[in-house]
Structure 1
Amino acid sequence: MPTATLRGAKSGVNYFMDGFRLIRQPGIRTFVFVPLTINLVLFAGALWFAVGELQALFNWMDAQLPDYLGWLDILLWPLAIITLLVVMAFVFSSVMNWLSAPFNGLLAEKVEQKLTGKALNSGTTVDLIKDLPRILGREWLKLKYYLPRALLFLLLFWIPILGQTVAPILWFLFSAWMMAIQYCDYPFDNHKVPFKDMRFALGNTKGSAMSFGATVTLFSMIPIVNFIVMPVAICGATAMWVDKYREAYRHPVIAPE
């Protein structure tokens, strides 16, 4: 199995920040705009529905409360809206990883082409459609990897003392690792590198991978800003692929049994 090269001294934080520059580059903006527009339209529709349901809930609550507690609306509405935005942002980030998977792969491809000056020769639109089962299958692999580990970490929160001290730290570290896997996987998958080989490569450069994933996690917690985290992270992860992994994994890899 090839090992990742250690070219470049940049940290994962630097690569993520590079993503903000890359999404504005000519030839890349279109591939950022399409999934971002889909995300915004779906989010706006879901938010409109959720606010309507929230309004109905508040109307019912006002009917139950005495008049002298009417001031509670002034306090509860902002809290409800902020909570709604945060929850929906996290849910949508997961859903959009599936809906945008084909676009995300194209974005990673165009960024790599921009950085290296070499096309990947990935084929036509018909070839992309034929690749959809493989692309969605890759997302399923990530989900299968994530769910059992997430459940184990979540169980730690129910353990007295441990759940209030160590568990939040472990959950953040696990989230950072999963963010690195989620977004670094797109350039790896474009080169047909198997999923376990991709994890092996990230494990060999765990410092960069974890600092990249931690930065993505932190930015994903900021409402509104998290709308652009996906394309920024894909661009940054692709830049990291070009610097650290491309030479070792530029050809399809067959993982050993």
Structure 2
Amino acid sequence: MNAPRITAPVTGAVGRFFAGAGLLLRGLGLYVRSPGLMLLGVIPALITAVLFGLAFFALIYFVDDWTAAVTPFADDWSATARRLTRVIAGLALLGLAGMVGVLGFTAVTLVVGDPFYEKISERVEQRCGGTPDAVEVPFWASLRRSTADSLRLLAISVPIGIALFAAGFIPVLGQTVVPVVGATIGGWLLATELVGAPFYRRGKGLAQRRAALKADRPTALGFGVAVFLCFLIPLGAVLIMPAAVAGAALLARRSLGQPTVLSRGGQRSVEPS
């Protein structure tokens, strides 16, 4: 009989950050193990991506009008200063749309594809030994609660996004530090949103999953930022969404102190939290 191989725990904030990003890679592994299930998860993401893509292209098309509307103070400046200010405003506006758009895309896709993503999340948990203390949650009750939580997270992201938009006008910092801060905040909100299903399966709400993720913030950030950056790539959100749901199930287990167990060629590899 093959004995379980225990993986050494990851220590240090940087190590835990990259371990969190690695959870997304492990989610991608399900494309090999369950290709049919994962491809079904692409369908709702594709539907939502078309709608959000059209909105984003409309924003790009009218970006000159929008930047002029938010920078009326530059109307009387010299042509060079006015053009530079509005280029910076355009970049900041697209950055705001990117952060809010990624979170909005995730919220809508999780609602549209709830049966598919619930199945993916459950499959991951089954392969990790099942869900301890699972509770039966009626579909409509779960849908209402997840929708309400997603709307609350989006409501948080909008004022943060506006503040980052304003900070984007600061020379140098607005084009270097602000995008990093935006990706970090967006990643945190994204991780909080994606782990909803595993926590609901245990009868835990938004406040409880926030507290659990805060206990190992570097891991949650590593996962969330990796997903956030992938979602910014054209078609990345469509292809990565099922893997993000799978990785979120692993993240939820780690944050709750429950080991993940993967089958590897007849052996079982146990990775403690």
TM class, shorter-chain normalised?
A: 0.5 to 0.7
**2:226 equivalent to 1:215:** yes
Partner of 2:247: 236
Runs (5+) with no aligned partner, structure 2: 1-7, 11-15, 59-93, 260-273
Q: How many residues align?
A: 206
Once the two structures are aligned, what percentage of the paired residues are identical?
21
Partner of 2:125: 112
Distance 1:188 1:218 in 2: 24
Partner of 1:33: 39
Distance 1:42 1:204 in 2: 32
Distance 1:116 1:29 in 2: 22
Q: What displacement does 1:102 show?
A: 4.9
Distance 2:233 2:52 in 1: 19
Q: What displacement does 1:16 show?
A: 1.0
Q: 1:98 to 1:158 in 2, by over 3 A?
A: farther
Contact 2:121/2:198 (CA < 8 Å) preserved in 1? yes
Q: Which segment drifts farther, 230-239 or 106-115?
A: 106-115
Q: State the 4+ residue runs in structure 1 displaced beyond 6 angstroms.
A: 45-51
**Which of residues 168, 180, 183 in structure 2 aligns to 1:169?**
180
**2:28 equivalent to 1:15:** no
For residues 122-143 of structure 1, the C-alpha deviation after alignment (integer angstroms, 9 at most, x for no partner) is 559xx32343222222222322
Query: Map of 1:1-257 to 2, 5 A cutoff?
Result: 8-9=9-10, 11-26=19-34, 29-30=36-37, 32-41=38-47, 43=49, 90=102, 92-93=105-106, 95-117=108-130, 123=136, 127-247=138-258
Paired residue secondary structure (1:228): helix
Distance 2:32 2:122 in 1: 15
For residues 120-174 of structure 1, the C-alpha deviation after alignment (integer angstroms, 9 at most, x for no partner) is 76559xx323432222222223223322322222221134454234322211221
Q: What displacement does 1:238 show?
A: 0.9
Q: 1:115 to 1:22 in 2, by over 3 A?
A: farther
Distance 2:237 2:108 in 1: 14
Distance 1:50 1:137 in 2: 24
Matched AA of 1:34: L
Q: 1:157 to 1:102 in 2, by over 3 A?
A: farther
- Say what the alpha-carbon RMSD is for the aligned residues: 3.7
Q: 1:35 to 1:129 in 2, by over 3 A?
A: farther
Q: 1:247 to 1:50 in 2, by over 3 A?
A: closer
